[in-house]
Amino acid sequence: MDSLANFVVKHKKFILIIYAIFIVLSLIGNNYVEVNYDLSAYLPWEINSIKGKNILEKDFGINGTGYVMIKDMPLQEVEKISKTIESIEGVKDIIWIGTVEDILKPESFMDENIKKEFLSLDSNLIQVTFLDSNDSLSTVEALGQIQEIIGEKGYVGGPAAVSRDMQIITSKEVIYYSIIAFIIISIILFMSMESFIEPILFFIAIGVAIILNKGTNILFDNISFTTHSVASIIQLAVSMDYSIFLLHRYIEEKNQQVNRDEAMVKAIGKTFNSILSSSLTTIGGFLALVAMKYGIGKDIGLVLAKGVLFSLISVITFLPVLILIFDEKTEKYRHKILLPNFKKASTIIIKYRYLFLVMVVLITIPSFLAQSNVKYYYADEKTLPESINSNIANREIDKLFSNKNQLALIVPKGDKLIESDLLDKLENIRGVDDVKGLYSLVDTTIPEDFIPDDVKANFQSDRYSLININLNLPMEGETTHDALYSIKMTVSELYDEWYLTGEAAIYLDLQEVTSKDFKNVTIISIIIISGIILIASKSLTIPIILIFVIQLGIWINLAIPYMQGITLNFISFIIIGAIQLGATVDYAILFTFRFKENLEIIPNKKEAAIKTIEDTGRPILTSALILFTGTLSVYLITSMKNAAELTLLIGRGAIISLILVLVALPSILLILNSIISKTTINWPKELNK
């Protein structure tokens, strides 16, 4: 470590040049990072609904879909608009009443089933199929043109419209809440630091790490919009501690070393282990997400773990150069620390330690039971605000038309009698509003050669037959689950090979895939972080104590939405445990290790605990406030419900962990001190009283 430290302080210009080159490369690379808004893309390829989705795209050319509803307009005018929409680049084809009926004949002579699907109370529905997926650039641009064409004459809804709104909101709001987070965190740092220059240096160092992380995301095929929305803020909030640790040690060493360079060498050497341990626990928590069957865990986990690694490297190599270059300016612009100290609070906490411990015991079981019963949702549209255009459009369309929850059932082509029998059985399933297949439109007695090719193309490929099922049910819920189960059982009786896809089917498969992810991620993150703490502390009991304290904080955090009756996005529910554990266990580690140091010099363990609260209270408070305010900025600004929920959980979790570490952990360490001393190597024994 001394060799690296000496290299850093002796080659400042070289390091600045290297970072400048990497920053430019990362900024270029970031332009080529693709953001994926299709959460189904992260489902395992082997599950039924994703296989069906792929067959739809490959064999039938069906990708993105949207709906256009036009109100109070003659059919001849609707026809003109339909033709204009069909001519837009990126649009594959459209289906409306004019596709299957002669619009010149009176409506009373039109087929009632067709009218129900495309006409309702002077409103016309146009179904649009796009060449590419819902979240592709060509589909987004095509939807923009469609919106311009219809103006205020109607609505544009459907899965593609939802995806478009998600992209627009994410790209716009990420700039806003990043700026607000920067301002709020700056205020916290200015209050907790002794100089106005220090926070600026911190932001530069971590900011560079964020740029490197974003640029190197080009290594992945794409990153999810959830990761894109919150990764930078989380990276900033969880890794700012490292900068604070290094600077504080440098200030101490300056008073003891012959010059600033030597002081920085000593500071890097003495803080490296603590910064490394802190970063490893955070990285371990994020990497636990890779164990999720649902691929978005790997997406979030790898990006955040990589970000923390870049923060560690930047703090050890880049920040020292900045501190040395601006040392005189830092000294010149010093001010009083504005955050409170913990001298009075520390005495109160230790005095009433048994009371606090009883409170912890009393809330443990209720919190555990409450968090285990939290309800969560999967549907994409629920992540968007009610007032967004696509949600307004979908509500208006759903009022008049009941075919918006569409499923695609794919079966092997061949036996038309079995297929016809299946169509009849599907129509009788509760919740099924309409079923369309080739043999619901064409009699089975008609020879294949007599059926028009354009009709067959809509329902048959070389290998498969396509059956479209419309549910008059919500995208998810118990009734939808029952209907999907009935459909699957019905088709299983007639076919060995079949595929059911569509939003509702994908959400159901998503639920089954992720049902065990929360438990798996929790167990793996606990094992990884416990192992790191065990090695760092050389103790059998300290990992158990620290993990319990932070895990209790996670239970309390998740118990709150249960008591509020709030449903969470499933992603937030699954990953919050690993994130909160990895990001805030540092508080417990810092407190415990400082308690050990104080025990070595203070004879009385209660006095050592009081001194530890005084020593660590302000740094832990600073870290928790940075994580809280950084994520709070996203929560307050973003319109994306899933991003708001996740960041609220992270921020609230930081405050809960802060309280537990400063109130509950001292009590536990004092009461269990004799047990800790017997199970920990080099734990001070002779001075304990």
pLDDT, one tens digit per residue, over 525-542 is: 899 999 999 998 899 999
Query: Is pLDDT of 613 > 90?
Result: yes
Query: Domain 342-373+516-689, what architecture?
Result: Up-down Bundle (1.20)
Rounded distance between C-alpha atoms, residue 131 and residue 354, angstroms: 67
Rounded distance between C-alpha atoms, residue 171 and residue 407, angstroms: 30
Q: What is the pLDDT of residue 612?
A: 92
Burial call 39-65: b when 16+ CB within 10 Å, e when fewer? bbbbbeeebbbbbbbebbeebbebbbb
The CATH class given to the 389-512 domain equals: alpha beta
Q: What is the pLDDT of residue 688?
A: 45
Query: DSSP letters of 48-70?
Result: HHHHHHHHHHHHS----EEEEEE
Cβ atoms of 245 and 274 closer than 8 Å = yes
Query: Is pLDDT of 336 > 90?
Result: no
Q: Binning pLDDT at 50, 70 and 90, where does residue 491 land?
A: very high
The model's pLDDT over 157-207, given as tens digits with 9 standing for 90+, comes to 888 898 888 888 877 887 888 888 888 888 888 888 888 898 899 999 999
Rounded distance between C-alpha atoms, residue 679 and residue 674, angstroms: 9
Q: How many helices (H) and strands (E) does the chain have?
A: 29, 13
Helix crossing, 517-537 with 260-287: angle to 10°?
150
Nearest to 665 by CA among 522, 551, 525, 504: 551
The CATH class given to the 63-165 domain equals: alpha beta
Structure tokens given for 683: 């734990």
The model's pLDDT over 31-80, given as tens digits with 9 standing for 90+, comes to 999 888 777 778 788 889 989 988 988 888 777 889 999 988 888 899 99
Query: Is pLDDT of 135 > 70?
Result: yes
Delimit the CATH 3.30.70 region(s) of the chain. Answer: 63-165, 389-512
Query: Is pLDDT of 687 > 60?
Result: no
The model's pLDDT over 409-454, given as tens digits with 9 standing for 90+, comes to 999 988 888 988 999 999 899 988 888 888 887 777 777 777 777 6
CA 391 to each of CA 125, 138, 159, 166: distance values in angstroms, whole numbers, following the listed order: 16, 21, 10, 11
**155 membership: H or E segment, kind and range:** strand 154-157
Residue 385 burial by CB count (10 A; 0-12/13-18/19+): exposed, middle or buried?
middle
Q: What is the pLDDT of residue 382?
A: 77
Cβ atoms of 242 and 275 closer than 8 Å = yes
Cβ atoms of 285 and 583 closer than 8 Å = yes
Q: What is the pLDDT of residue 402?
A: 63
State the CB neighbour count (10 A cutoff) for residue 175: 9
Delimit the CATH 1.20.1640.10 region(s) of the chain. Answer: 342-373+516-689
User: What's the full length of the chain, in residues?
Assistant: 689
Query: Is pLDDT of 659 > 90?
Result: yes
DSSP-derived pairing of the beta strands 376-377 and 568-569: parallel
Higher pLDDT, 54 or 455: 54
Q: Binning pLDDT at 50, 70 and 90, where does residue 26 land?
A: very high
Per-chain mean pLDDT for the chain: 87
Rounded distance between C-alpha atoms, residue 186 and residue 183, angstroms: 5
